[in-house]
Structure 1
Amino acid sequence: MKKTFKTFFILFLLSNSFGLVSQEQNKLAYDIDNPDERYVLPEYLEEVSALTFYQKDQLAMLNDEKGRMYVLDLNTKKIVHRVRFEGNGDFEGLERVGDYIYAIESNGKLYRFNVKMEGVVEKIKTPFDSGNNVEGLGYDAQTGHLLFALKEDGDIKDVSVKGKAIYGFHLETEKFKKTPIHIVKHKDLKRVLGDKYKFKPSGVAVHPLTREVYIIAAAGQSLLVCSPEGEPLHLSKLKSTIFPQPEGIAFAPNGDMFISSEVDGEGGVVLKFKAN
């Protein structure tokens, strides 16, 4: 790591009063440059756009252009289940919570269906539109909120945001938080990445053991880790040779991390990282 980056990061931490004095105290819990396992997906998942833990030894994902969920078995490395819940669109986020799957389009259309295929596919109104470009969908089990990571504008009706926003939808009450749960401010990202930084979230997931919030960005090739309260703790640049276009992130209950990437002209990939 270059000295300049370390200096920026330390200033970043001190300026936000995080009570930390060095980046070393917040080392990423994963060896991000050395995946423990690599899963190559079929060609029809070239544009794999989302990722969620489905059940033991299985992950679920989306193809960007179709309202279809695909389930990958980690032992056989094959797609073992698929569900069509909608027609064509721009599907970017996927999350399983209990017996339900939530999927979202970039224009803010949110879908919910039962994993046992009971009942109908529901459509839930959100405060987002195509200008927000919703790309990430996660879940905080402790607060009971679905998390929505916006790639572009964080503003919604009556709310102005100077930074990258993550909003919450409380599942029990089925109500959206009026203001973002987390905001990563532009000025703070500039301190770390420079004035010409790019950081546009493409995925979000909550660590099942630490409750830290992991935000991945394809535009900017970065992984940002925040505290449960939203305070930035660690930022890692991602190598394009390992992560061609990182779009999805998910955790197994034991803390193993999975990141999916689109790959032009062939099937996408899912990488597994065991916690250190």
Structure 2
Amino acid sequence: MNMKRTSILFIIIYLLTFPSSAWAQNKGDFPYNLESPSETYRLPAILEEVSALSYYGPSQLATLNDEQGRVYIYDFNKREIVQRIRFEGNGDFEGLELVGKNMYAIKSNGKLYKFNIDIEGVVESIDTPFTSENDVEGLGYDKNSNTLLIALKGKGDIDNVKVKGKAVYGYNLTTEKFSKTPLFVLQDKDLERVLGSNSTKFRPSAIAVHPISNEIYMIASVGSALVVFNNDGSPKNLSILKRSLFPQPEGIAFMPNGDLFISNEGGDGGTIHRFKMKQK
């Protein structure tokens, strides 16, 4: 992925050029109707605080409870948990991504874990440049560059790099190295201008790459919005999420056919909404 560092300021320019309502929801071109899920799955009590999603296999999603180092495989056809994978003790786990047979899970303090789903009891801990001040929330995967995308809810600064705004870094699985600077940055002040003067700052909670368009989808539980970026990191679409439907969106994942899943904490318990991709 040749994503360049960008600012959400480009959104403002777009808004000044085109009708804002068309950009914000983009109902004609946007491939999902976020106001009408095709299915809603109410999760068991153990996943009331579901914090992450990843596609696991046909009819199955990998999920996390943010307080335990356990992966729960949820079969949405059976509407039940069909497998549990323990990889660590308790902790604040916020991101999950399956790449081939390897599962990656990340804590809010930046600690990254890797384990093979077919080999029980072998877990690798990967050093990262992140700390609890970064408040890591999102973990995604770009297959074209073989890179994990790491979205920070807190400070974007790492080592000697100073960042104003919310940052997304990369971990290249081929070289096993982290990007020294963010792949792109979201400026808080510009997002506030887009989301409204009374809006709380946009704070990313999950990130995923669309399997067909390769666009980057990022949601925020604080700020209650979904932002879509082109493959180069430039912003393309912003959708405000209804609180009644998305009380606390914390996870995002795609089926290979493009169907979108968004998980939520809170409300009447954990839920996953499924949105079928519109056919052109």
**Normalization by structure 1: what TM-score?**
0.91
In 1: Cα distance, 2:86 partner to 2:224 partner: 30
Q: Look up the match of 1:237.
A: 240
Partner residue, 2:116? 114
Pairing 1:50-199 to 2, within 5 Å after superposition = 50-117=52-119, 120-197=122-199, 198-199=201-202
Count of aligned pairs between the two proteins: 264
Verify: 1:247 aligned to 2:250, yes or no: yes
Q: 1:91-140: per-residue Cα shift (whole Å, max 9, x none)? A: 00000000100000000000000010256100000000000000000000
Amino acid in structure 2 at the alignment position of 1:186 = D
Contact 1:9/1:192 (<8 A) preserved: no
SS at match of 2:133: coil
Cross-structure match for 1:4: none
Equivalent residues of 1:10, 1:22 under 8 A apart: no
Q: CA deviation at 1:35?
A: 0.2
Aligned pair partner of 1:224 in 212, 222, 227: 227
The amino acid that maps onto 2:13 is: F
- Given candidates 40, 43, 59, the residue that maps to 1:41 is 43
Provide Cα deviations, 1:28-80, integer angstroms capped at 9, x if missing partner: 21000000001111011110000000011110000010000000112111100
Q: CA deviation at 1:10?
A: 7.0
Residue 230 of structure 1: how far off its partner (Å): 1.2
User: Is the partner of 1:12 in helix, strand or coil?
Assistant: helix
Provide structure 1 residue ranges, at least 5 long, that are not aligned to the other structure: 1-7
Deviation at 1:194, TM superposition (A): 3.5
Q: Which residue of 2 aligns with 1:211?
A: 214
Aligned mates of 1:267, 1:205 — CA distance in 2: 23
Counterparts of 2:221 and 2:12, CA distance in 1 = 25
Q: Which runs of no fewer than 5 residues in structure 2 stay unpaired? A: 1-8
Q: Which residue of 1 aligns with 2:5?
A: none
Letter in 1 for 2:218: I
Q: Is the contact made by 1:12 and 1:192 (CA closer than 8 Å) also made in structure 2? A: no
SS in structure 2 at match of 1:188: helix
Give the TM-score, by structure 2 length: 0.89
> Identity across aligned pairs (percent)?
56
C-alpha distance in 1 between matches for 2:72 and 2:39: 19
